[in-house]
């Protein structure tokens, strides 16, 4: 196992860092304060190939590997979590789900325009009363000839009010719904403009205010059978496999937030003086900075490992869960330390560290809360949990095939 980032990976890192500092950083504070999502960044990200970074060229993507997706997430979150969320939802949760589960016809219809950045995509599992417990969701889909009729509500969906395509999960078997049997759930690809499909934006969030988070309402939405993703009854398996990809981007992105906290804290510790010396000479400040550096190295090693496993086509649900759990806790702890180092200034938006702290809290909750991942890791260790083969596995990375026209 080679966990070193290649020369090509470092070129991608530099490209994304330069882009983020030039195009995203100057306006992020304004969008955070105003709680506005800047759609003008999307064509710029598409032009760089970021919206299809790890999608094969024949499907409109850049043909890079899964580690590249982690690096892009890392560098975007270094500026703000909202930009990494675009990668998590559009690429991780949706486009990679299509790459894994969609028919060839569906890939041409949906994956190609998404990878090219012509269409924006999201993923809708969570409901008002169903978050960590997806079997509690209430959305339904009843078969009506060559279509399904969908009804239900989705909540806390990133990009809900700006996306063009939606992967949505609903019960197709009411008896299995009542029995909480996962095989009664199915997945569907919805398109904005379908009759009965409406979306809204949630305001007043603690963090990720520069991102769009919203709700989806389905009222007798007609969805062609051709838009069903996978077989009927595979929805739960599809949902969980998509989460493996989304969680990978969240964990990798956490490295960028830790890097931002470390950079800000080192800079401030050199400038700020107390008791006649820079505060960086005080041992307890050094301790907080040392912990950030430690966490950053661990998180980057963890996401390099998961990216390597994905490149090899090896199932990585356990490793991705561990990455997501550790990395998000590490980012939140680093942001709290960064605020502490900045003292009273860290408590105001004059410095970015207060935004880092607000943003970091969300990732401890979404895409599997801290507690869910603790339970998963305990179950793996105790032998109470094992991963079974899927009908469709995420394809291993093949440079020649993925970069072929």
Q: Is 205 exposed, middle or buried (0-12, 13-18, 19+ CB in 10 A)?
A: middle
d(CA 289, CA 278): 14
Query: What whole-number distance in Å separates Cα of residue 68 and Cα of residue 70?
Result: 5
Pairing of strands 273-274, 228-229: unpaired
The verdict on whether 191 is a catalytic residue reads no
CA 361 to CA 303: how far, in whole Å? Answer: 20
**Residue of 42, 387, 32 lying closest to 241 (CA atoms):** 387
Q: Which residues contact 52 (CB under 8 A, 6 or more apart)?
A: 46, 59, 60, 61, 62, 91, 95, 114, 115, 116, 117
How many angstroms separate the CA atoms of 203 and 286, rounded?
Answer: 38
CB atoms within 10 A of CB 102: 21
Nearest-angstrom CA–CA distance, 93 and 52: 12
Q: Which of 367, 371, 393, 405 is catalytic?
A: 367
Tell me 23's DSSP state.
Answer: I
Task: Find the radius of gyration of the CA atoms of the chain.
Answer: 21
Report DSSP letters for 155-175, one per residue: EEEETTTT-SEEEEEEES-HH
Q: Indicate the helix (H) or strand (E) that contains 393.
A: none
Helices (runs of H) and strands (runs of E) counted in the chain: 15, 10
Residues carrying an active site annotation: 367
């Amino acid at each position: 196992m080679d966990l070193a980032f290649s020369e090509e990976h470092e070129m991608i890192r530099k490209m994304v860092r330069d882009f983020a500092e030039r195009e995203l950083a100057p306006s992020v504070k304004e969008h955070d304060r105003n709680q506005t999502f800047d759609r003008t960044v999307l064509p710029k990200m598409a032009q760089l190939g970021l919206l299809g970074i790890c999608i094969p060229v024949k499907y409109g993507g850049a043909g890079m590997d899964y580690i590249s997706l982690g690096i892009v997430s890392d560098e975007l979150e270094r500026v703000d979590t909202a930009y990494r969320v675009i990668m998590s939802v559009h690429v991780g949760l949706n486009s990679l789900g299509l790459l894994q589960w969609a028919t060839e016809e569906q890939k041409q219809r949906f994956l190609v325009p998404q990878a090219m950045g012509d269409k924006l995509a999201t993923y809708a599992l969570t409901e008002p009363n169903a978050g960590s417990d997806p079997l509690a969701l209430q959305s339904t889909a009843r078969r009506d000839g060559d279509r399904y009729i969908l009804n239900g509500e989705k909540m806390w969906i990133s990009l809900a009010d700006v996306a063009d395509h939606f992967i949505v999960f609903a019960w197709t078997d009411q008896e299995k719904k009542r029995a909480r049997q996962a095989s009664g759930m199915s997945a569907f690809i919805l398109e904005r403009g379908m009759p009965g499909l409406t979306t809204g934006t949630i305001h007043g969030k603690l963090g990720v205010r520069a991102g769009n988070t919203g709700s989806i309402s389905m009222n007798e939405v007609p969805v062609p059978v051709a838009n069903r993703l996978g077989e009927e009854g595979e929805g739960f398996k599809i949902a969980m496999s998509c989460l493996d990809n989304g969680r990978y981007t969240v964990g990798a992105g956490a490295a960028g937030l830790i890097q931002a906290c470390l950079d800000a804290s080192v800079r401030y510790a050199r400038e700020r003086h107390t008791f006649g010396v820079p505060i960086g000479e005080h041992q307890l400040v050094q301790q907080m900075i040392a912990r950030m550096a430690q966490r950053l190295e661990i998180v980057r090693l963890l996401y390099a490992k998961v990216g390597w496993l994905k490149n090899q086509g090896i199932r990585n649900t356990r490793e991705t869960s561990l990455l997501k759990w550790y990395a998000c806790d590490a980012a939140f702890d680093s942001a709290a330390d960064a605020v502490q180092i900045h003292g009273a200034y860290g408590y105001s938006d004059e410095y970015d560290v207060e935004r880092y702290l607000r943003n970091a809290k969300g990732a401890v909750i979404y895409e599997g809360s801290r507690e869910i991942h603790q339970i998963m890791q305990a179950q793996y260790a105790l032998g109470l949990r094992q991963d079974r083969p899927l009908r469709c596995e995420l394809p291993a990375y093949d440079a020649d095939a993925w970069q072929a026209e």
